[in-house]
Structure 1
């Protein structure tokens, strides 16, 4: 099992230092690293600085991109979080997905028992969480940037049909005998909760943190396309059995849910962690040949290869973001892991935070 080989330090603009507290995704595009805090409506771009082998890699020159400048968010006001939980880049587009989950209010120590019981009974839907979209990426003088449209080649920002209470994907899942009941359950209660996204040609794989069904984690496969006559609205093609607009894949991840996904050659790497509010365990599994699978699947434990045991803390260091990373290491693929609720030892100065690098065998 692989161990940490190096670290990456992310330096944010000091005025946006709070971003380091809740990193949920990671994606490298050329010499830039793209991340997001799941309590915001923005994507963050950092420049990857050259580093000698074995030296800590620094990512800085932070620039923030507000997604309401490129997409029509159901709730466009400031502070209406998207709960960004998946990020992937392919063919000039950056794809982004929200959790699609409900949330339950937290109990608070300064509240009375009755008030906390009421809070724990309150379940809410944040409309921006029902976001699945693609945004063109272009090269500008200061580096890669997001734009709403590209005149030169016709690329346009587009998003799945939806509103404040759901979208076409949740409408489809609502008809599913296995999954429909979990749409009404908050994500952190083993309810429906997307965490993880990869692009496979015209298709997307969406990892589900929950539900985990008798120990089996779920990936949904979809194929978005532009709606007839539209340049900014996506719809789902019929790709599943009986004309379903999605396929299902089940994985034996030792009872864990999916926390992120990325591609390694023809394989899919699955960051697996607890579906409920627990610290660990956290493991990266390799699904060999996952990119070539063209039908629904049930993948047993002996068909998966554990490649990294990811460290976790007690109430902190929850692995959330993962991507392959070109870091100057001399051999092998390198995997970057970023953490939500980063431990104090990962924080440097007022606006920096540290992630881990692992060499994959």
Structure 2
């Protein structure tokens, strides 16, 4: 049984419009100092918890993303935030950019259930790659989000929220992917069907690494790398990274797994990887050593990836539960993993949930 840490959520901030609790859909996790940042896949907010004296995280505060960004559908559609990262006083976030296939409902007629499986839905707010200024309060130590704020180290410079050019049906990234030789055939396929599906984001300076849960190509997962640049209107565009295109593709042989989360530690990239399809399967954490050292597209074979540990997941009667989605670096030896659809024994009371602490190093 792994070590566990309790996450305390406020009852006043934890339910979305449909009554789903934030703890039941955690999709990404990031640690900045004593603040643990989390998102739920069916909300338009980012949650901040603070480390408590007993080692748990609490003092829940919720930040409504549409207060900082111009969401395509405002707050009427989930963002499906699947990745967060931080660099240079900006918190970066990314939506899944994926399509959804409707689920059959057992109480419906057979004909209606079959019809639902043919219906594909797009949520406008999923098409977002954005940054929000984030500064640490020197008195409390807490990090806070701002729409616009003075740069703490460069007098006269302002930090301001911005996002990649886009609309209700696409953005610059998906437009590029629709022309990509590897990804284009998967752009009209729902995420859970091995279609295009972003899960995971990590930031190093100006470099943004984006993990793809799908597509997985003959067992190979992909990481996209981009470098957004801001224009005078505050809209983000993508710097030309290769002779042909404004992004790089890195291919990693995860033997059929897609990427669920990315985290940078030193020069290494940690990958939380699991099934790309909607099924139970092994979830594990890998280390891609020296991933940040190069400026070329990479093909990383399986024996070049270090498999650090396996992550528990629901099976049997608990099939479809305890799906590891978020990964935060605690220190050189330990990571924190949060789960979507937690099992009953992972929930505590009405509002709390247990996250796992896994060891990834010696000692």
Mapped pair 1:325 → 2:330: yes
Q: Which residue in 2 is equivalent to 1:251?
A: 252
Q: 1:48-90 CA distances to partner (integer Å, 9 max, x unpaired)?
A: 1134xxxxx3111101000000000000134x10010001111
Match of residue 355 from structure 2 = 355
Separation in 2, partners of 1:354, 1:271: 18
Partner of 2:154: none
Q: Which residue of 2 aligns with 1:74?
A: 72
Considering Cα pairs closer than 8 Å and 6+ residues apart, tell me whether 1 or 2 has the greater RCO.
1
1:116 aligned partner: 113
Structure 2 match to 1:204 = 208
* Residue in structure 2 matching 1:29, options 5, 29, 32: 32
Separation in 1 of the partners of 2:164 and 2:35? 27
Cα distance in 1 for partners of 2:302, 2:75 equals 44
Unmatched 5+ stretches in structure 1? 52-56, 327-331
Which residue of structure 2 lines up, in the alignment, with residue 189 of structure 1?
193
Match of 2:57 in 1: 59
Q: How does 1:1-361 map to 2 (within 5 A)?
A: 4=2, 6-15=3-12, 16=14, 18-51=21-54, 57-78=55-76, 80-140=77-137, 143-152=142-151, 153-227=157-231, 229-230=232-233, 232-242=234-244, 244-313=245-314, 314-325=319-330, 332-361=332-361
Kept in 2, the 8 Å contact 1:241–1:247? The answer is: no
Q: TM-score, normalised by structure 2?
A: 0.92
Name the CA distance, whole Å, in 2 between partners of 1:293 and 1:283: 25
Match of 2:216, SS?
A: strand
The C-alpha deviation readout for 1:23-67, integer Å capped at 9, x for no partner, is 00001111110001010000000011134xxxxx31111010000
RMSD: 1.3
* Other-structure match for 1:329: none
CA distance in 1, matches of 2:134, 2:75: 24
Cα contact 2:44–2:75 (8 A) shared by 1: no
Deviation at 1:14, TM superposition (A): 1.1
Task: Write the distance in 2 (CA, Å) between the matches of 1:271 and 1:293.
Answer: 21
Equivalent pair of 1:106/1:120 in contact (CA under 8 Å): yes
Give TM-score, length-normalised by structure 1.
0.93
The alpha-carbon deviation at position 241 of structure 1 amounts to 3.9
Q: Deviation string for 1:189-239 (max 9, x for gaps)?
A: 000000000112211110000000011101111110102x22x21001110
SS of the counterpart of 1:14?
coil
Q: Distance in 2 between matches of 1:129 and 1:338?
A: 21
Query: Distance between the aligned counterparts of 1:12 and 1:333, measured in 2?
Result: 27
Aligned-pair CA distance for 1:138: 2.0
Given that 1:133 and 1:157 are in contact with CA atoms closer than 8 Å, whether structure 2 keeps it comes out as: yes
Q: Distance in 2 between matches of 1:263 and 1:203?
A: 11
For 2:277 and 2:161, the matched residues in 1 are separated by 34
Cα distance in 2, alignment partners of residues 250 and 106 from structure 1? 31
Which SS does the other structure have where 1:199 is aligned?
strand
